[in-house]
Amino acid sequence: MAPTPLNPNAREWQPARPRSAPLDIPSAGEHELSEGLPNDPFALSSTAEMSVSPAELEELEEVEGWVNLMAELEGMEQDHLIELSLRHADKSKIAQIKAAALSKAKQKVHHKHHSGHRKHASAQKAADGSSAAPPADPFAERTVYKDNLFDKAMIYYFSKVMSDQLGGIPFDGSWDDFVNLSREIMRGRNSREQQETVAGVLAGLLPPQAPERFRRWFPLNKRNAEFNAFITVLGFAWLVGPSKLKELAVFASSAIFASSAHPAPPLQAGVTIKKCRYLESSGCVGMCTNMCKLPTQKFFTETFGLPLTMNPNFDDLSCEMIFGQAPPPIEQDKVYDQPCFVRQCNLGTVSGGRSQSQPCPKIDTERAKKEAAQSKPALAGSGFRWPWQAKA
């Protein structure tokens, strides 16, 4: 029986490669076979030519298996290994070869196991948020935009309508001034008043009777949800930056598919914003929530009759828009408990007098009053009387 080559895919014999570390086994010189041993180990094609018993041949083949494993682990020369396995037919040497190969194999397996375990533990630690490394700062590299004529016209038009809502304050039509106008809307107003002012801006952008016509022309269905997502990608890059359509199944539970046995097919009713330009420029969780997310959701859902949910990601400044999905109440939205940007807002730092884990106070300026009202005992109408109150 001819010994199996170490690399069955090799088409020709490769020259020996230098080894980085020799295999720690005894020398084979004193145990060489007779002078009649062919130079080519593959020329041995029968047990008679090897002059070993079937039992010894079985052990020899087992040794070859261990040596093959050592070849993979240590990168040793194929010709040397086969010669080594053929010349060490002595049982004591066979045992030594097996012990050395097994020891090396165990060391490699042990090393790989613990190395993989460390990598898995490190990945798990990072996934659990317990890694000591701080999260990447999404504001470290600012995106540079080159606005074209359409972008500049839209920025100017939105700025003018915002200026009108603020009583005609001056503006220069630049992007930076557009962001400053947003800050002016926030100044001196609570969260609800900010959202109402933005709603007035959105209404001022449209011609008369536009909402009624929109509802008539674009009733709630798959096609119109996809169409509005397409318009957002096409026409609002100047405001939110580059974005792309995303396949969703937002109508899966609607009446459209209620009578169908097949699941709702995916549709391009979502928009993924890679890195929101407005959020990057403002650097404020409160501005994102009250100047963009909440008023836009309400405007599409209530004014246009097309439900919209926006899910900003404050870790990388991306955002997901889902047309056809009704937004949750703000108190149930995960953005409600979002802290400030530590590197962008002094309200988000410990030196600013607040914990880094506390929600941004600009998201809901009436949060403290609401929490106080919820924690206050409901005594009215319960029949409770203070000691000084007279009985009826």
Residue 60: inside a domain, yes or no?
A: yes
The identity of residue 389, as a single letter, is Q
Kindly tell me if the per-residue pLDDT of 79 is higher than 80.
Answer: no
Residue 306: inside a domain, yes or no?
A: yes
Domain count, the chain: 2
Q: What is the pLDDT of residues 130-186, one digit of tens each?
A: 455 566 888 999 999 999 999 999 999 999 999 999 999 999 999 999 999 999 999
Please tell me whether residues 196 and 316 are part of one structural domain.
Answer: yes
Beta bridge partners of 323: 308
Are the C-beta atoms of 308 and 363 separated by less than 8 Å?
Answer: no
Residue 255: inside a domain, yes or no?
A: yes
Please tell me whether residues 118 and 153 are part of one structural domain.
Answer: no
Q: What is the pLDDT of residues 35-52, one digit of tens each?
A: 444 444 444 444 444 455
Q: From CA 50, how far away is CA 44, in angstroms rounded?
A: 7
Residue 368 has a pLDDT of 84
Q: In what order do the strands lie in the sheet with 308-313?
A: 243-248, 267-273, 318-323, 308-313
Domain that residue 266 falls in: 149-339
Residue 355: inside a domain, yes or no?
A: no
Residue 28 has a pLDDT of 45
Please tell me whether residues 214 and 175 are part of one structural domain.
Answer: yes
Query: Which residue, chain included where needed, has tokens 């026409």?
Result: 235
Q: What is the pLDDT of residues 223-243, one digit of tens each?
A: 888 999 999 999 999 999 999
Q: Which two tokens stand for residue 57?
A: 């041949």
Please tell me whether residues 208 and 162 are part of one structural domain.
Answer: yes
Please tell me whether residues 257 and 302 are part of one structural domain.
Answer: yes
Residue 31 has a pLDDT of 44
Residue 247 has a pLDDT of 86
Q: From CA 12, how far away is CA 365, in angstroms rounded?
A: 78
The identity of residue 98, as a single letter, is K
Residue 86: inside a domain, yes or no?
A: yes
Please tell me whether residues 57 and 203 are part of one structural domain.
Answer: no
Q: Which two tokens stand for residue 50?
A: 């090897």
Mean pLDDT across the chain = 75
Residue 195 has a pLDDT of 97
Kindly tell me if the per-residue pLDDT of 202 is higher than 70.
Answer: yes
Residue 225: inside a domain, yes or no?
A: yes
Regarding pTM above 0.85, the answer is: no
Q: What is the pLDDT of residues 374-384, one digit of tens each?
A: 776 555 555 55
Please tell me whether residues 260 and 329 are part of one structural domain.
Answer: yes
- Among 115-129, 163-177, 208-222, name the one with the lowest average pLDDT: 115-129
